[in-house]
Amino acid sequence: MQQLKTTDNGGFPIVLDDLRWIQDGINLGFKGALSAAGIGLDTEQGAVLSGCVESGADITSGYIVLNGEVMFYPGDLAILPIAGGSEAYFELDPAVDAAGLKTFQDTVTHDTYQIRNARIVVSASPPANRLTWGDDTGRTILTWEENLNGIDDAWHQPDAAGEPALVGSWVQSTGSVPRLQFKKDKHGIIRLRGAIKDGSVVVNTLDATFVLPVGYRPSNNATGAITAALQSSVYGTVFVQIDSAGQVNVIGLPSSLAGAFTGGSDFISFDLTFSTIA
């Protein structure tokens, strides 16, 4: 670390090199603190330290590392969504504070108080070396906290576009009964919630409902009990087995509720969690 030594008496004239020495010392402190999180101030890649996330059509304010500097980003209103084929990226947006206009000894005036904030630019032709915020799909850069702790996944609904299909005669629930969904949190825990209907639960027989994608599967078979509603008024338990290939099976045991869940108010309702980590 470096600092300006101020313990000697007698005084000396302060020059710009002295102020530069102090500023470099402060930057060195930032480098040391951020290196603990794997963020280097000397890299072109940069990072988002805080904020800078989507909020409706806006991007919130926050702090970033850009070209070796910690900068404040004041946010943008009504900038989202990003147009197709374009990219949003950070760049330096320098300004000056009028209070820093100084007259030097040679009688020439100079702006000495520089404000080095960042801004987001949207372009279909971004520069080669840039810190990208996102594109027409949304934000693609992670914040420091997200890189450190991970992020929760969005909910996925079987039978929706791009999602796993329900198999056999099983279909999503309708009306006020929540539909079957699944997600993974930042700790690798998978949760299944919601209901399906129109399939059958048979005693001592595995019946497949759908297959979880890679990354959402247990390392070993996961099992649990879920709620079932049969013939509109009979409630009971159905058992679930999820194998390491991701197949979500339901099975009836002699003590559980079994039958064809095809009535208007019949369904089996998942509320189940398991880990993807062995």
Count the Cβ atoms, other than its own, within 10 Å of residue 40.
15
Q: Name the DSSP letter for residue 100.
A: G
Pick the closest to residue 207 from 233, 238, 186, 182 (CA basis): 238
Q: In this structure, what CATH number is given to the domain that contains residue 259?
A: 2.60.40.2460
pLDDT in tens, 122-158: 999 999 889 999 999 889 888 877 776 776 788 999 9
Closest CA to 131 of 40, 55, 67, 222: 67
Non-local (6+) Cβ contacts of 175 within 8 A are none
Rounded CA-CA distance 69/193 in Å is: 45
Alpha carbons 12 and 6: distance in angstroms, whole number = 10
Task: Please give the helix or strand (H or E) that residue 77 lies within, else none.
Answer: none
* H-only helix segments in the chain: 16-35, 144-149
DSSP symbol at 98: G
Indicate the range of 63-77, 199-213, 216-230, 239-253 predicted with least confidence: 216-230
Torsion angles phi and psi, residue 258, rounded to 5: -135, 165
Is the pLDDT assigned to residue 234 strictly greater than 80? Answer: no
Q: Please indicate, yes or no, if residue 165 is contained in any of the structural domains.
A: no
Looking at 114, 148, 182, which one is the last position of a domain?
Answer: 148
For residue 110, list its beta bridge partners: 102
Do the Cβ atoms of 119 and 73 come closer than 8 Å?
yes
Asked if residue 265 is part of any domain, the answer here is yes
| 8 Å CB contact between 171 and 262 | no
In angstroms, the CA 213 to CA 96 distance is 53
Cβ neighbours of residue 70 closer than 8 Å, sequence gap 6 or more: 30, 41, 49, 63, 64
> What's the number of domains the chain is made of?
2
DSSP 22: H
pLDDT tens digit sequence for 88-112:
999 999 999 999 999 999 999 999 9
46 and 142, same domain (yes or no): yes
The whole-number pLDDT of residue 143 equals 82
Q: Is 12 helix (H, G, I), strand (E, B) or coil?
A: coil
- In whole numbers, what is the pLDDT of the chain averaged over residues? 86
How far is residue 72's CA from residue 64's CA, in Å, rounded to a whole number?
6
- Higher pLDDT pick, 86 / 28: 86
User: Which residue range is the domain that position 186 belongs to?
Assistant: 171-275
* Shared domain check, 198 and 142: no
Q: Could you tell me which of 124, 134, 117 has the C-alpha nearest to residue 54?
A: 134
260 pLDDT tier (thresholds 50, 70, 90)? low
pLDDT, mean of residues 65-69: 85
pLDDT digits (tens, 9 = 90+) for 170-197: 999 888 888 999 998 877 889 999 999 9
* Global confidence as pTM: 0.55
Residue 62 lies in a domain: yes
Q: Which among 115, 148, 181 is the end of a domain? A: 148
Whether residue 20 lies inside any domain: the answer is: no
Q: H-helix or E-strand containing 58?
A: strand 58-59
Within a domain: 112: yes
Does residue 210 carry a pLDDT above 80? yes
